[in-house]
Chains A and B, each alone.
Chain A
Amino acid sequence: MTRPLPDQSLGPEWTILELLTRSVVDDSERQMVRDLLLTNTLDWGELLEQSLRHKMLPMLAHHIISAGLRFDVPTTIYMHLESALDWNRCQIEVFRRETVRVAQGLTDRRIRFVVTKGMTFESTLYDSLGSRYMNDIDFMIAPRDREAVMNVMQELGFRPFFEWAKDSRREEISSRLNPDHLPKLAREIDQPGTRIINVDVANSLTWTKSPFDVPVEEALEDSVQQPVPGMPGVSIPCFLPKYQFLFTVLHLFREAWLQKFVDLGTDVGLMKFGDVIRLIDQNRNELTDGELLRTMETHSVTDAVAWVLRHLDETFQTSTLELLALEKHGDEELLASQMQSSAYVSASGQPMRERLQSKARGSLRPVAPTHSGS
């Protein structure tokens, strides 16, 4: 089924990124991206800046190169895009080797874990093209294994990242007060282009003090083995699709809802919405057989998930709410009472689409709690 094409009211640069976010799936979308890239009024500075902000530079580069636009794009920009894609591919290679190394260390100690986010999405959702940006490696463990995992990571050469941070004491206190993750871990390596490998080990599918949760022990109970590209016979454990989906969407919910992530400069971005769109496209059968809905209801996360999908549908012309039978869920007033705060995205008075494009999100403050039901 053909999806509506995005309106171009936010400019050709933004439309290109929206199309790449939701994945270019047919000739009409491919042609639209091509036409927009070749338009005389295209502002390459704006396109590159927004690509960087949304961690989509490698994806833009891959699209331009694979579309054969070598002689249609300004030469210096084309060369820069080639370099960005090459660097991302090298980075992914380094991350893959490190993921396998850590996974082996955890397996040797019989610790149950899964690899999450970028490392699994890069191969399952982005076809191992090197187009999905990654800046760290993510694992999920059970809270009871925090100490054992910390020991393994230290044996493998990792140290808490706050030792490198600009304000190390702030990082340290923040880490201690939020035990949904281990302290961010990092290891120096002798690799041009990648001097430090960051590893993020979570032990919750939500966050400290979240009013709802999906028990991590339940999510870790069954995992699937995912082959590691370029390493024959090697695989890593990952979540079943329904837990992969729930973790990804609840993560997005947290970052979209809470002011904290705006202040940290790590709130919503296009790439994260792109992950959700691809997760649903790729696992349509598993996510619509009723099992996901039952799990969401059991753990009272239906509204949070539906709230994210409503914003996703409104922004990217998708129909995920209908597909997952969640049209009646996601009431913002109910969520606001659970969260004990209004959603930043509503209180700031910006629709999600404009908020994503805005370069001054931190300067926006909620003016008044609203319960628009988005």
Chain B
Amino acid sequence: MDDITTQFEECLRRHLRSAKPNPINYDVELTQLGLDSMTAVAVLLDMEKTFGIRFPDDMLVEGTFRTAGRLKEAVQLLRERQAS
């Protein structure tokens, strides 16, 4: 699988004000980077569009996008599932 880091981070920066000028810390809670209930929807939609994936219902929970690391893992998993 290709490295999705660049696209993934661009996607986050489009929506999270506090993520824009700084390197993204994959362990920090995304709420600290400005994620709220509105931007969470926008980020997930953008991830779906950017990577051609669809989050299943059981992944549409807070745990999926608690940190950038968790969200990236979820995106990678869905891309792998789709590829297979």
Contact = CB atoms under 8 A, between A and B. Distances in A.
A339 B40 CA distance: 18
Contacts of A170: 41, 45
B40 A177 contact: yes
16 contacts: A173-B41, A174-B41, A176-B60, A176-B61, A177-B37, A177-B40, A177-B41, A177-B60, A177-B61, A177-B62, A178-B37, A209-B37, A260-B36, A260-B37, A260-B38, A263-B38
B48 interface: yes
A177 B36 CA distance: 11
Interface string A199-239: 00000000011000000000000000000000000000000
A169 interface: yes
Interface of B is mostly: helix
Interface of A: 169-170, 173-174, 176-178, 208-209, 259-260, 263
A169 B37 contact: no
B37 A208 contact: yes
B60 to A, nearest CB: 4
Interface of B: 36-38, 40-41, 44-45, 48, 55, 57, 60-62
A176 B60 CA distance: 6
Contacts of B41: 170, 173-174, 177
A178 B44 CA distance: 14
B45 A173 contact: yes
A259 to B, nearest CB: 8
Most buried by A among B40, B41, B57, B62: B41
A244 to B, nearest CB: 26
A173 B62 contact: no
Given A169-B48, A173-B55, A176-B61, 16 more contacts: A170-B45, A173-B41, A173-B45, A173-B60, A174-B37, A174-B41, A177-B37, A177-B41, A177-B60, A177-B62, A178-B37, A208-B37, A259-B38, A260-B36, A260-B38, A263-B38
